[in-house]
């Protein structure tokens, strides 16, 4: 039995479902994330276990099934099964090597920077996964490095996939929202200020933060606290001020142009399809075949070597550029593992 994990739950998972728990960690809502061996198939899987007595709804499996029933996508994590054991809700997911935050830590700490080809390929894979969600009227609303999984592939750049739909919403009639959802570091300014905002455009902003980290190994803005608004100084400023800020980070002109159209107020923010077609990501897009078909095979191009060592978190630089003293962030942004909203 694994210490810290409900012993009765572990026994029932093994007895009734054939899952031998190897390790696990507690999560919010009185639940766990477990790594377990499925003895009948001899495959290792990831289990998310939620305490049904918490009184909160748990819609993640239903959204995942909706996506899989539409064909699934190589860049969206696959739900294997979903069941209940007494008061526990259990969703079983395919197991990946780790998340993008840890992989970037690995590359950064051990001096193995990603090549431009890798950065663009990984980001395009993320975009294609999110595009699949949007095509099915699902806004993710918690896109973050920790919610992008990585799997090494033989003789190919690793595959990445979007995961964790806890805060995601199916928006069949309207994409407009008011309630903030997501992490402070990735939260669109409209959501932070509790204004009505477009859920799909909020994902584009979060993707802009992810792209900035991929390109610079640091987060774009220093965040004083979860309630702080100072880090939005450049976001809500003029386009020119935002571009000047981005140029200070030694980014190429195409990268500055793309990021300035993602990390900006919603009225100026481009759509996901415009991001995918942007000149910065060409011709990398051409290397990813069948990007919109939903088929689960793609992304096989010649890679540079990437190590797979597991290292401690928080090594990615968080020293985002400070805004001017007249109204900007002044404290270091220690990577915000702060709880997601809602």
Which option is the CATH number for 7-94: 3.10.450.50, 3.40.50.720, 3.30.200.20, 3.30.9.80? 3.30.200.20
pLDDT in tens, 235-272: 776 778 888 888 888 899 999 999 999 999 999 999 99
Check residue 324 and give its pLDDT. 36
DSSP label at residue 186: G
246 and 211 Cβ atoms separated by less than 8 Å: no
Domain 98-287 bears CATH identifier 1.10.510.10: yes
Q: Is the dihedral of CA 145, 221, 269, 228 positive or negative?
A: positive
CA 337 – CA 311 distance, rounded (Å): 17
Assess whether pLDDT exceeds 90 at residue 306. Answer: no
State the Cα angle at 281 between 280 and 286, rounded to 5°: 140
Greater pLDDT, 154 or 193: 193
pLDDT band at 28 (very low <50, low <70, confident <90, very high): confident
Assess whether pLDDT exceeds 90 at residue 11. Answer: yes
pLDDT (mean) for 194-220: 94
Greater pLDDT, 302 or 201: 201
Structure tokens at 5: 């994990």
Check residue 226 and give its pLDDT. 63
125 and 160 Cβ atoms separated by less than 8 Å: yes
Locate the domains of the chain by residue range: 7-94, 98-287
């Amino acid at each position: 039995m694994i210490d810290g994990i409900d012993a009765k739950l572990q026994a029932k998972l093994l007895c009734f479902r054939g899952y031998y728990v190897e390790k696990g960690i507690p999560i919010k809502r009185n639940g766990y994330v477990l790594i377990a061996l499925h003895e009948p198939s001899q495959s290792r899987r990831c289990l998310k276990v939620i305490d049904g007595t918490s009184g909160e709804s748990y819609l993640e499996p239903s959204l995942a099934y909706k996506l899989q029933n539409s064909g699934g996508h190589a860049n969206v994590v696959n739900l294997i099964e979903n069941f209940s054991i007494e008061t526990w809700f259990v969703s079983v997911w395919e197991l990946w090597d780790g998340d993008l935050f840890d992989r970037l830590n690995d590359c950064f700490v051990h001096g193995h920077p990603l090549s431009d080809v890798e950065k663009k390929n990984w980001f395009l894979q993320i975009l294609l996964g999110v595009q699949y969600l949007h095509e099915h009227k699902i806004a993710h609303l918690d896109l973050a490095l920790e919610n992008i999984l990585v799997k090494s592939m033989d003789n190919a750049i690793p595959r990445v996939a979007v995961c964790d739909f806890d805060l995601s919403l199916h928006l069949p009639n309207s994409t407009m929202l008011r309630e903030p959802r997501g992490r402070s570091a990735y939260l669109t300014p409209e959501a932070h200020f509790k204004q009505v905002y477009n859920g799909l455009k909020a994902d584009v902003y979060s993707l802009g933060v992810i792209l900035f980290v991929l390109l610079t190994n640091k987060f774009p803005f220093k965040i004083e606290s979860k309630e702080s608004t100072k880090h939005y100084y450049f976001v809500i400023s003029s386009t020119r001020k935002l571009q000047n800020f981005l140029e200070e980070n030694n980014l190429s002109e195409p990268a500055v142009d793309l990021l300035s159209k993602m990390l900006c107020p919603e009225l100026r923010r481009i759509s996901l399809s415009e991001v995918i077609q942007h000149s910065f990501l060409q011709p990398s897009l051409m290397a990813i075949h069948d990007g919109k078909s939903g088929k689960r095979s793609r992304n096989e191009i010649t890679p540079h070597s990437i190590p797979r060592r597991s290292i401690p978190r928080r090594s990615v630089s968080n020293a985002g550029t400070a805004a001017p003293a007249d109204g900007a962030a002044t404290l270091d942004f220690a990577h915000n593992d702060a709880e997601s909203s809602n």
